[in-house]
Structure 1
Amino acid sequence: MGRPRGFDETEVIRAAAALFADRAYDGVSVDDLVNHLGVHRNSLYKTFGSKRGLYLAALRWHVEHQVRPLVSAVGAAGDLAEAVRGTLAAHDDGGALDLLLMAAAERAPVDQEVRAEVCAALDALDQAIGTVLTGAAPDRADRVGEPSPALAGALTAALIGLRLRARATTAATESDRAAAALVRCLAPNDLTI
């Protein structure tokens, strides 16, 4: 019989998600994981198989515990302005889009499993934004006079871009002004395609 695990797997995954969100996959070495997470190298490999295994577990945890609640909040927003504000404010609660953003830029182009996770999360965000745009279920978005799914995808891309900008600048007001400009440009009566 082996020794009982000396760490909380969920806590290690959560901490790894934060580390990968901050420094990206290639910016984190196995030594960094061992030192930052307080897990022995052998335990890390035994539990997760590899750095990539831990990364996938962290990405899945991030999607389940940070992205999905954000998607639900966006879908429940009363209007586009509230959805935009909620999405951009989510970084104050631990970076609800940060690991997804890093995974989309760095790992999704070269890792099929990461790509599938990223695409599913972005599709869910598109649907939530589509719900806000149409004021109804996303399957109504193709009707004449209502926003198309392509517009929801474009808005998701804009929100991801605004989050990227917020990460890259020290002044939150720059991103806030950009988000406000986005909302002003997308007045509800101008949303039809």
Structure 2
Amino acid sequence: MGRPRGFDETEVIATAAALFADRAYDGVSVDDLVTHLGVHRNSLYKTFGSKRGLYLAALRWQLKHQVHPLISEVGAAGDITEAVRHALAAHDESGVLDLLLMAAVERAPVDQEVRAEVSAALRALDEAVSTVLTGTSPGSADAPAPVLAEALTSTLIGLRLRARAMAAGTESDQAAVTLARHLNRA
């Protein structure tokens, strides 16, 4: 009989998600993971198979436990300004969208599984934004906003990227709120 696992797998995955969101896949070495997660190298490989295996588990955990709840909040918003505020609130301290952003930029172009996860999450966010813009569910006959929703989702993701690069989100947040107010008037 093997030794019992000496770590909480969910805690390790959540911590890895934060590390990958902060420094990206290529910015995190296996030594970094061992140090930050407090897991022995052999345990890491036995549980996740590889750094990539842990990355996929972290990305999927982040999407399920943080991004999709945010998407639900966005889709339930009363208007587009409220939806944008929900998306921006996720930028504050938690960086809910950061791993999705990093995965889209760094891993999705070269890893088909990551691309599929990122694409599905972005489509879900587009659908939530479209629902708020039109007041109808995605796929209904009178839902004219999928392209506009995609543009707004891309704008929000771009504003988050800009906020990360500038180490301050205030200007980006203001730009998104101004855009949302304009869309509400249109």
Q: TM-score range by the shorter chain?
A: over 0.9
Say yes or no: does 1:87 pair with 2:87.
yes
Unmatched 5+ stretches in structure 2: none
Q: What CA distance in whole angstroms lies between the structure 1 residues aligned with 2:148 and 2:70? A: 19
Displacement, 1:57? 0.2
Q: What CA distance in whole angstroms lies between the structure 1 residues aligned with 2:170 and 2:106? A: 27
Unmatched 5+ stretches in structure 1: none
**Corresponding position of 1:67:** 67
Task: Name the amino acid aligned to 2:156.
Answer: L
**Corresponding position of 1:175:** 172
Q: When the two structures are superposed, what TM-score results if normalisation uses the length of structure 2? A: 0.96
Task: Name the amino acid aligned to 2:40.
Answer: H
**Corresponding position of 2:43:** 43
Which whole-Å deviations, capped at 9, do the CAs of 1:77-112 have from their partners, x for residues lacking one? 000001111101112352110000000000000000
After TM superposition, where is structure 1 displaced by more than 4 Å over at least 4 residues in a row? none
Q: What CA distance in whole angstroms lies between the structure 1 residues aligned with 2:168 and 2:29? A: 30
Q: What CA distance in whole angstroms lies between the structure 1 residues aligned with 2:84 and 2:103? A: 21
Q: Do 2:159 and 2:172's aligned partners in 1 also have CA atoms closer than 8 Å?
A: yes
**Corresponding position of 1:184:** 181
Q: When the two structures are superposed, what TM-score results if normalisation uses the length of structure 1? A: 0.92
**Secondary structure of the structure 1 residue equivalent to 2:149:** helix
**Corresponding position of 2:28:** 28
Instruction: Please tell me the root mean square deviation across aligned C-alpha atoms, in Å.
Output: 1.3
* Greater alpha carbon shift after TM alignment, 84-93 vs 107-116: 84-93
**Corresponding position of 1:163:** 160
Task: Name the amino acid aligned to 1:86.
Answer: H
Identity level (%): 76
